[in-house]
Amino acid sequence: MANEQGPDTPFGHAMRSFFQFDPSYIPLNHGSFGTYPKSVKDRLRYIQDISELRPDTFFRYELPRYIDSARAAIAGFLGVDAGECVFVPNATTGINTVLRNLVFKEGDVIVYFSTIYGACEKTVEYLKETTPVESARIKLSYPVEDDDLISKFQGKIKQLNSEGKRPRVAIFDTVSSLPGVRVPWEKMVKVCKEEEVLSVIDGAHGIGHLDLKLGDVQPDFFVSNCHKWLYVPRGCAIFYVPQRNHHLIRTSIPTSHGFEPFPAESQEVLFNPLPAGNRSYFIGLFQFVGTSDVGPYLCIEEALRFRQEVCGGDRQIMDYCENLSYEGGRKVAETLGTEVMENSTKTLTKCCMTNVKLPVRIGEGQGEVKETDAFAVVAWLAQKLNEEYNMFAPPFYHEGHIWVRFSSQIYLEMDDFAGGAQAYKELCERVGRGEYRT
């Protein structure tokens, strides 16, 4: 294991020694790909090493026990039953697993917001091509009040019902990606229960980021990337399906050896080459989904240990990151002469990411950027920030303005946000001079 100083190490730059960053790199975008401590890296390498000593022994006989132990650890962390938790590579896979298992009929509708993660929206579009399902897209223009969002959501469901449609599924985030804002997902789950709509939660920015209280909220389906905010290697996500909905999940994606077709006359029993076990059908579906590097799944326990013993626990991590995000966002806005994306009740920033408007004017006048060039400017800003400043915080276009999303983390301090603000101030001045066109 890497040397550790213990829970007395202050959050901020002192914590960088636990991670693997290039000394000159400023990581302001933990939200996209995350990272993990050196001790977790040691665990990952250990798993990879022992899997090569006796590959058949590991994958056939030892791996199921390792995964059971990791499932038990993550279930305890979330406050749910281990028999309701399995691992998938990422949140996109989890969302696809739900949507591709459900059997849609004429009149069924998938409800979602315009801020849905792009890959998930494309999944909905694909299902519209291949099944009878329809979709209802609710337009959001941030900043949005929580009550207004809930009202739009409930209103759309009631409208569909009045039209004779069946709102079958609703997809929504815990914290959306772009913009990176806290979503009142717990209240939306309650609406889904009242309206008899299946809630499918894209918690990509969930576990390790928010106090989820998953056992209390009890959504119908929930998936969250462990490799973003929980300090687990890529790719690893927890897929939670409560016992009441296990019958809806017939197969993993892709279908593998755990799948058992419904019996049919004269059909031979399909051979499963893996050793039999006493696990439920649901758990068995995901026990072995093709040959892959499962090392990240088996790093869960070390990541949880690091968070508790080195960092002092999740409450300390979340409090530091949320406070830094809040104060850092305001520092960036002050430097740029703009504003933080926030609503009147200040719920959008109750997370570890903040969004700040960039001083780039969209329009047709001198020094302004045509709306048709907005995405080209976003791409130019991202590339120049990375290449010339050795840092990254993603810019994005939303409702007539270009914004930037900053992620906070235990290895960052205020001067990192200040550095990002200064870099963006200089780059936006260059945009005003038209340099993005060259």
* Integer Cα distance of 175 and 218 in angstroms: 17
Q: Which of 283, 290, 287, 284 is nearest to 241 (CA)?
A: 283
| pLDDT for the residue 266 | 62
Q: What is the pLDDT of residue 265?
A: 66
The per-residue pLDDT for 9 is: 84
pLDDT of residue 278: 85
* pLDDT of res. 3: 42
Residue 62, pLDDT score:
95
Strands, sheet with 401-407, edge to edge from the N-terminal-most edge strand: 353-357, 401-407, 395-398
**Omega of the bond leading into 394 within 30 degrees of 0 (cis):** no
- Angstrom CA distances, 129 to 2, 85, 122, 135, stand at 51, 31, 11, 11
Phi-psi region of 354 (alpha: psi -120 to 50; beta: other; left: phi over 0): beta
Report the chain (438 residues): mean pLDDT per 10 consecutive residues. 58 97 97 97 98 95 96 97 98 98 98 97 98 98 98 98 98 97 98 98 97 96 98 98 98 94 77 84 94 95 98 97 98 98 97 98 91 97 98 97 98 98 98 93
Q: Are 311 and 324 within 8 A, CB to CB? A: no
Q: How many CB atoms lie within 10 A of CB 3?
A: 8
Residue type, 327: E
How much is the pLDDT for 273? 83
Question: For residue 389, what pLDDT is reported?
Answer: 98
* pTM for the predicted model, two decimal places: 0.94
